[in-house]
Structure formats: structure tokens, C-alpha cells
């Protein structure tokens, strides 16, 4: 699975920790779309870049991180075909995959501790979409 990952300055440190975790997984290849430091940048640039990588098929899924995860998730969701879920718990990560078939995960670098972020990421990567009645709803989202 190819995972695109991007962050702004507020999410940079957590992005780097998530990359460390992803490198340990044999089933994941990482495409890092930046930013590459804690120097101030604009989160919409990185949310869009990651969303476009997923929507175009250059990556299977994407992970974006900003200070809270809110702004960068909004930016990613502006890209047609993206269903980016901001997750603050393992349960949200499981449900965003099972029910919403989220192809992107957003996290908050200033609001989610590293250990929880890794558990959220692991759950999100390992949970499958349930389909069924949820497929009808994700199709509706994709057609908006």
C-alpha cells in the first residue's frame, strides 16, 4: 500500500513520528509530500497536495497533519474523490474506515499525543470498509 503523507509546520513533528511507525510496516511505502521543517507554511497547500496524490491514484491512501487536524482535513476534502476523516480516537479511526471508507486520515499535531496517533494510524490502516448500506452513502458523497 502506498501512503502519501503531508503536514504543515504544526504537524511536522507528529508526521515524522508517524513515518517512523510506517517504515516498520512491510506493507507500506511512504510518499512524503512535505513540509520538511517547523518553519511556518500554509496547511491548504499540503492538504491539497496529499488529496491530489490519493485522488489521482499515485497513492492508495493519505495521512495529513496540522496543529489540530481541522484545517488540513478541510483542505483535503476539497479535492474530488477524497473522504478525509479527522480522528481523535481509535474508535473514530475504525469507524471512519468501516462506515465512511475514508481514504485519508487527518491528525492534530498539537492535540494528539504520539502514542495515540500511532494507535489511530494502525487501526485506520488495518480496518476494512464494510460496504453494504455504507457503500450507498459513500457513493452519495463521491457524487456531490
Catalytic pick from 50, 66, 84, 87? 66
CA–CA dist 143, 47 (Å, integer): 21
- Our answer to whether residue 87 is catalytic in this structure is no
Collapsing DSSP states into helix, strand and coil, what is residue 59?
A: coil
Question: Nine-digit cell at 75?
Answer: 483542505
* Residue 69 main-chain phi, psi, to 5 deg: 90, -10
> Per the residue annotation, which of 9, 50, 84, 99 is the catalytic one?
99
Task: Please give the grid coordinates belonging to residue 44.
Answer: 491548504
Q: Is 37 helix (H, G, I), strand (E, B) or coil?
A: coil
Decide if 9 is catalytic. Answer: no
CA distance 86 to 65: 9
Q: Which residues are catalytic?
A: 66, 99
Amino acid at each position: 500500500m502506498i501512503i502519501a503523507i503531508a503536514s504543515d509546520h504544526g504537524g511536522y513533528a507528529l508526521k515524522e513520528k508517524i513515518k517512523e511507525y510506517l517504515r516498520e510496516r512491510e506493507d507500506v511505502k511512504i510518499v512524503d509530500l512535505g513540509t520538511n521543517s517547523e518553519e511556518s507554511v500554509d496547511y491548504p497547500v499540503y492538504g491539497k497536495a496529499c488529496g491530489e496524490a490519493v485522488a489521482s491514484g499515485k497513492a492508495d491512501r493519505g495521512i495529513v497533519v496540522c496543529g489540530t487536524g481541522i484545517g488540513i482535513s478541510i483542505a483535503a476534502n476539497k479535492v474530488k474523490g477524497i473522504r478525509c476523516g479527522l480522528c481523535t480516537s481509535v474508535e473514530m479511526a475504525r469507524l471512519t474506515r468501516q462506515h465512511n471508507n475514508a481514504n485519508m486520515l487527518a491528525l492534530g499535531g498539537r492535540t494528539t499525543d504520539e502514542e495515540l496517533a500511532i494507535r489511530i494510524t494502525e487501526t485506520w490502516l488495518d480496518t476494512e470498509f464494510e460496504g453494504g448500506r455504507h457503500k450507498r452513502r459513500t457513493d452519495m458523497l463521491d457524487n456531490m
